[in-house]
Structure 1
């Protein structure tokens, strides 16, 4: 009797096979016991260095937003991304971020000029930009989430 027939008949899986299967899953996912040197497994070739294990990244590359900024004073937080990723506004404009995800997120400027509390589903954060410049920001809970506000005079 081969193994597939054995399992198809509802037999119990030998503990050794279950343990080996669990280790294979851990190794494939980059999880599992660390080595004695404390080295971490190398990231997957297609995974951004700052991504989180097990998180699906919505079209993101894990890097700062690309392309021309979109004229917008509202930013949606949905599918673990800021949309638009790069917004362009005039000095004096208030930008509103709205969390449309089930998970909490933050909006935190890289330079510390603004910082929201964790935003649960449906909550908003507003910030008025008083000086021209480029303001990159991220979610401190999910650092792979990046955005930029470009403020024009």
Structure 2
């Protein structure tokens, strides 16, 4: 009888530990977000409507480390690379590789850069038609931020 009670105690403790580990995976870091032109979504997910804020067209020394690519991975609660530099007319594609849903939303108010909620495997495409700096974030996890620098 005592052995059975002890065994139940171990299972209860194991379940509690697993539950705590699962909760710790839901936390992550914090920060800020902007863009222009047309966009397309390659998934059938519902969009989110949140008003972003920010400033497009600004230049900073952060551009020095910008990646020359038109693909951004969403993985481990981050946009990678965090900054991309592309010429005007380029379509940038974001792909969600996380199990959690994410968005790509400009920080500049009124900017059309605004994806729907993207689940795992979903992509979002946006074509930049004007030169400038476009900051964006995930509205679900605002600490996730990125920048697209569009050159003439």
1:54-101, Cα deviation, whole Å (9 max, x unpaired): 6134xxxx3469552110100000000000000000000000000000
**Residue of structure 2 in register with 1:135 after alignment:** 134
Alignment partner of 1:144 is 2:143: yes
Structure with bigger helix share is 2
Aligned pairs, how many? 108
1:87-120, Cα deviation, whole Å (9 max, x unpaired): 0000000000000000000000111421000000
TM-score, normalisation: structure 2: 0.60
Write the distance in 2 (CA, Å) between the matches of 1:126 and 1:63. Answer: 23
Pick the aligned partner of 2:76 from 74, 79, 84.
79
Alignment partner of 1:108 is 2:105: yes
Rg (Cα) greater in structure: 1
1:122-153, Cα deviation, whole Å (9 max, x unpaired): 00000000000000000000000000000000
RMSD: 3.3
C-alpha change, 1:108 and 1:64, in structure 2 (3 Å) is closer
| Unpaired stretches in structure 1, ≥5 consecutive residues | 1-9, 11-53
Write the distance in 1 (CA, Å) between the matches of 2:85 and 2:98. Answer: 23
Alignment partner of 1:70 is 2:67: yes
TM-score, normalisation: structure 1: 0.60
C-alpha change, 1:64 and 1:88, in structure 2 (3 Å) is farther
Write the distance in 2 (CA, Å) between the matches of 1:63 and 1:69. Answer: 18
